[in-house]
Copies of this chain bind each other. A is one copy, B any other.
Amino acid sequence: MPRVTLNDVARVANVSAITVSRVLRHPDQVSEEKRKRVMAAVQKLGYVPDLAASRLASSRTHMVGVIVPTLYNVIFADYLLGLHEILVPAGLQVVVVNSRYSQDEEEAAVKTLIGQRAEAIVVAGIHHTALARRLLARSHMPVVETLELTDRPLGLNVGFSQQSAAAEATRRLIAGGRRRIAFFLGQLDDRAMARQAGYRQAMAEAGLDETIVQITGLSSVRLGSALLSRLLEDAALPEAIFCIDDNVALGVLQECRKRQIRVPDDVAVVGFHDLEFAACLSPSLTTVATRRYETGRVVAEKLVDAILGGTALKPAQIDLGFEIVARESG
């Protein structure tokens, strides 16, 4: 199946190859007559330019690579939307690669994106394999690490302190008079680890004992339900439960309902992320609002400046912060 090439179009339109190329990229540099002939030929043949050839000749790919650990979590959808909304209108394509919470898959993704000669790489998180770090550092391309803060950024770093956010939320519960506060989580990925550290820090500051309940697995509503059941198997109900995220918190709320446990009277429940449903649950969910969408936008704006301006991305750290949103659940 012979593919339609620039030369095929040129032959049909009876012009040179370069003229076809110009019609497609700078139509105003070509006379109207030839332009029409070329466009007609393009239509007729169903010609679509080969981006690999274009990239090889021009060394432009118009492509930004974005590595995320999962697509199961709405927070990444928010974040990708923010990136998308700025990059696409600027003529840059967003290529999403899923690393499935594996540093090795992340390394593979980095190789792929460098191999594709992406014009920038945006990666969620700050922990990478040594080789991935080395490749990114050498790649001479703009690199952005997001959603956490790091002391040794590879380039730009936009996010917030997961640990401070968790510590702050825990301190608030303590200030509200709750003493026995449990921390519920699923898998211990980087961000979960940072939040757990924040919880432990706040508990230690107040001289309180930790209660950490973990069942490995992606965070989910079902997981929240299971975590509460697990805890109640061999312990009394705590005064508060701080959940790794809102999905888990929703599961806890459902399980409380099933067991006739009153929230917040019997137990306070706090989530993380302020997903869209948090405000309209009954009771509404107290949580930590994070700025995923803004993160995407800020990153994208910096990248557009750097890529289209042809300047290097200035290394910097941008802390977008977080906010504790107090609602009915605790």
Q: Which A positions have Cβ atoms within 8 angstroms of B?
A: 1, 3, 46, 48-53, 55-56, 61, 70-72, 74, 76-77, 80-81, 84, 93-96, 98, 100, 111-112, 114-117, 134-135, 138, 140, 220-222, 225, 247, 250-251, 254-255, 257-258, 276-277, 279-282
Contact = CB atoms under 8 A, between A and B. Distances in A.
Contacts of A250: 277
A50 B117 contact: yes
Contact of A222 (B50, B80, B279): B279
A258 B276 CA distance: 17
A276 B225 CA distance: 12
Given A95-B95, A254-B282, A46 B276 contact: no
A51 B116 contact: yes
Nearest to A312: B1
A276 B53 CA distance: 44
- Interface SS majority for chain A: helix
B72 A115 contact: no
Contact of A77 (B46, B72, B221): B72
B280 A115 contact: no
A135 B134 CA distance: 41
> Which of the listed residues A48, A72, A77 has the most CB atoms from chain B within 10 Å of its own CB?
A48
A61 B55 CA distance: 14
B221 A280 contact: yes
A220 B276 contact: yes
Contacts of A140: 1, 3
B115 A51 contact: yes
Contacts of A61: 52
A112 B50 CA distance: 9
A249 to B, nearest CB: 12
A56 B56 CA distance: 9
A300 to B, nearest CB: 14
12 contacts: A3-B140, A48-B135, A50-B56, A51-B116, A52-B52, A71-B76, A71-B80, A93-B112, A221-B276, A221-B277, A254-B281, A255-B282
Nearest to A254: B282
A48 B221 contact: no
Contacts of A276: 220-222
A294 B135 CA distance: 36
